């Protein structure tokens, strides 16, 4: 069975290690521990990971976030992957930095990448892994915030979350979206609560 794992982000040196590139960062981490390399292909960089009889096609679109739908549609069709076997990795302003939530479907939540995918596919009925980047910016500062570089604390939190994010993606392919949500969303929230309590006790 094949699965398309699309990590959203922007290409170019200026966007490396920015909050909007969380999807790229997660896929790069998985490729690194799996000893596979991305190749430049049509509409994006692509790598393939084999795991427990499944093939995961990792896609980093080269279309920039706002046009992610073109890459997603092309690779779904090229690899003959049904839309229910697609998972989109996306940064999310609505949840605290480092929080991870898995969802079966939904709207775009103001994210231009999801909005374009929804427009191209004609619906939002596909799974997405939302990685929180928080909303610590002043009114009018959203663009600079999402395109800004991760600070030291954010990098530390992100590095601690990468293994969990990769586990959740693998689980999506092995046991499906519903069971993965049941198994991991609660675990991810427990991590969030534990870190908040730990941080609070230090102040």
Nearest by Cα to 111 from 146, 138, 144: 146
Residue 18 DSSP label: B
Catalytic residue list contains 20: yes
CA distances from 86 to 12, 66, 97, 118, 174 (A): 25, 18, 24, 13, 13
Beta strand segments in the chain, E = 2-7, 39-41, 44-51, 54-61, 86-92, 100-103, 127-132
Q: CB-based burial of residue 148 (10 Å sphere; 0-12 exposed, 13-18 middle, 19+ buried)? A: middle
User: First CA to last CA across the chain, in angstroms?
Assistant: 49
- Which residue, 21, 65, 26, is CA-closest to 168? 26
User: CA-to-CA distance for 1 and 45, rounded, in angstroms?
Assistant: 21
Q: Which residues are catalytic?
A: 20
């Amino acid at each position: 069975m094949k699965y398309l794992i699309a990590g959203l982000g922007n290409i170019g040196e200026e966007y490396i290690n920015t909050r909007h590139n969380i999807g790229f960062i997660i896929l790069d981490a998985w490729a690194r521990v799996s000893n596979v390399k991305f190749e430049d292909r049509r509409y994006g960089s692509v790598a393939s990971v084999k795991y427990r009889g499944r093939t995961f096609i990792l896609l980093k679109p080269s279309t920039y976030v706002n046009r992610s739908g073109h890459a997603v549609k092309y690779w779904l069709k090229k690899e003959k992957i049904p839309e229910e076997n697609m998972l989109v990795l996306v940064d999310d302003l609505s949840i605290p930095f480092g929080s991870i939530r898995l969802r079966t479907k939904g709207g775009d939540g103001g994210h231009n990448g999801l909005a374009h995918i929804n427009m191209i596919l004609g619906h939002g009925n596909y799974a997405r892994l939302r990685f929180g980047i928080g909303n610590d910016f002043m009114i009018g500062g959203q663009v600079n915030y999402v395109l800004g570089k991760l600070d030291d604390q954010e990098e530390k939190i992100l590095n601690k979350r990468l293994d969990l994010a990769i586990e959740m993606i693998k689980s999506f392919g092995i046991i499906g979206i519903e069971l993965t949500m049941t198994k991991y969303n609660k675990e991810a929230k427990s991590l969030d609560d534990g870190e908040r309590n730990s941080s609070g006790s230090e102040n």
